[in-house]
Amino acid sequence: MTTAVIIVAAGRGSRMGGEVPKQWQMLAGKPVIAHTLAAFAGMQVVLVIHPDDMARAEGLGVPLVEGGASRDASVLAGLRALEGTGVQKVLIHDGARPLVTRGLIDRLVAALDAQDAAAPALPVTDALWRGDDGLVAGTVDRAGLYRAQTPQAFRLAPILAAHLAHPGGAADDVEVARAAGLDVAIVEGEETNLKLTFPGDFARAEAILKGRDMDVRLGNGYDVHAFCEGDHVWLCGVKVPHGRGLLGHSDADVGMHALTDAIYGALAEGDIGRHFPPTDPQWKGAASHIFLAHAIALARSRGYELGNCDVTLVCERPKIGPHATAMQAELARIMGVDAGRVSVKATTSERLGFTGREEGIAALATATLVKA
Ligand code: MG
């Protein structure tokens, strides 16, 4: 069955204050209505707006319908726009509820398979009082009371008929539906499905959006350097005495290179070679901490912090264990993070392959970056 969404955004929002109606005010960098539309991405939408807001609504990329003088009239205008289009189910949603989730939307659409109407609500859990002149004048039994939300879901034909028959002045579409004798199923709503009404609601909504926006990135890196003549190797920033050296354009710190590439990878920023071309003589013999410091600074410039990283060195010799704590501390120092976020460990390859034959050292690294 074809489902469409009517988003009602024609109100003037007098309780919010400000010169711009609340659905057009900015929330986390874009208008409230843009968040609301994003919640229904991929669905057929009709946006009902006030005639004065036509210029604001251009560019939103959805069909626009001019609302009427009341909420009822605006909903009716939206329903009429869907009449005869083949749409059979309709969700009617307040534009000022931008945090509705796809989970709730899907539950409501599914409920229409068995019902003519379904709407989200949450049971009242606070005690309810009646007040008079600043004094408590009595308590109200909260048993069986719900806080109603939108979207409210209906089959199109019955809700259109119900609106046409209704005298007007309804609080919401459930009231209209019930007046026409439709049964409305209660679907569990969501605490986060706020209706932006007062100025303080914007701060709550932004906090909820920030929590949803958690951005965690993962990158991996792999590097190999061959042994050459020498008496030490640099591994994860630590000079380790060894009967050979490592061959490379820079100091050949294979572990730090793998870690640096992991961070670039998490940022989708290529690898060390992109940022420090080996053809550029200024990087010949460079200390690898320059590369690692650059990668972590790039991450921070994009708003990320290191979540954790894990480096594995693959070699028969030198033995890494005695140096692992110093390596962990040095990588943490270069990146400016707690050592508890940095792991350095090692394995042999059971004398198999090039590392087993002690022709070189390989290193693997993984890093996560978290939007700070
Ligand atoms: Mg390398």
Cα torsion angle, 10, 12, 13, 18, sign: positive
338: CA distance to ligand 1 center in Å? 25
Task: Please give the C-alpha separations between residue 154 and each of 107, 109, 173, in angstroms, as whole numbers.
Answer: 13, 9, 9
The pLDDT assigned to 16 comes to 60
When pLDDT is averaged across residues 195-204 and rounded to a whole number, the result is 92
What span, in angstroms and rounded, lies between the C-alpha atoms of 257 and 236?
Answer: 9
| Model confidence pLDDT, tens digit, residues 271-323 | 999 999 988 888 888 899 999 999 999 999 988 999 999 999 999 999 999 99
| Model confidence pLDDT, tens digit, residues 104-115 | 999 999 999 999
Q: Coil, strand, or helix at residue 60?
A: coil
The pLDDT assigned to 59 comes to 86
Residue 53, pLDDT above cutoff 80: yes
The pLDDT assigned to 12 comes to 80
224: CA distance to ligand 1 center in Å? 6
Alpha helices in 213-315 (DSSP H): 254-266, 272-275, 289-301
240: CA distance to ligand 1 center in Å? 17
The pLDDT assigned to 283 comes to 86
| Model confidence pLDDT, tens digit, residues 218-254 | 999 999 999 999 999 999 999 999 999 999 988 999 9
pLDDT category at 208 given cuts 50, 70, 90 is very high
Measured in degrees and rounded to the nearest 5, phi and psi for residue 368 equal: -110, 140
251: CA distance to ligand 1 center in Å? 9
What span, in angstroms and rounded, lies between the C-alpha atoms of 36 and 49?
Answer: 13
With DSSP H G I counted as helix, E B as strand and the rest as coil, what are the percentages for the chain, rounded to 5?
A: 35, 30, 35
| Model confidence pLDDT, tens digit, residues 248-264 | 988 999 999 999 999 99
Average pLDDT, the chain: 94
Residues near ligand 1 ion, CB 5 Å cutoff = 223, 257
Q: Any idea what the Cα angle at residue 152 is, between residues 46 and 59, rounded to 5°?
A: 20
The pLDDT assigned to 137 comes to 96
Percent of the chain with pLDDT over 90: 85
Residue 80, pLDDT above cutoff 90: yes
Residue 19, pLDDT above cutoff 80: no
pLDDT category at 15 given cuts 50, 70, 90 is low
117, 187 Cβ separation under 8 angstroms: no
What span, in angstroms and rounded, lies between the C-alpha atoms of 1 and 115?
Answer: 14
**Which residue, 369, 211, 221, 223, is CA-closest to 301?**
369
The pLDDT assigned to 1 comes to 61
Helix axes 289-301, 324-335, angle to 10 degrees: 50
The Cβ of residue 16 has, within 10 Å, a number of other Cβ atoms equal to 19
The pLDDT assigned to 14 comes to 58
What span, in angstroms and rounded, lies between the C-alpha atoms of 128 and 145?
Answer: 10
252: CA distance to ligand 1 center in Å? 6
341: CA distance to ligand 1 center in Å? 23
Task: Please give the C-alpha separations between residue 328 and each of 75, 154, 220, 342, in angstroms, as whole numbers.
Answer: 62, 60, 18, 6
301: CA distance to ligand 1 center in Å? 24
pLDDT category at 215 given cuts 50, 70, 90 is confident
**Which residue, 235, 244, 224, is CA-closest to 289?**
235
189: CA distance to ligand 1 center in Å? 54
**Which residue, 230, 228, 224, 274, is CA-closest to 253?**
224
225: CA distance to ligand 1 center in Å? 6
| Domains and their CATH numbers in the chain | 2-212 (3.90.550.10), 216-371 (3.30.1330.50)
100, 190 Cβ separation under 8 angstroms: yes
| Model confidence pLDDT, tens digit, residues 154-179 | 999 999 999 999 999 999 999 999 99
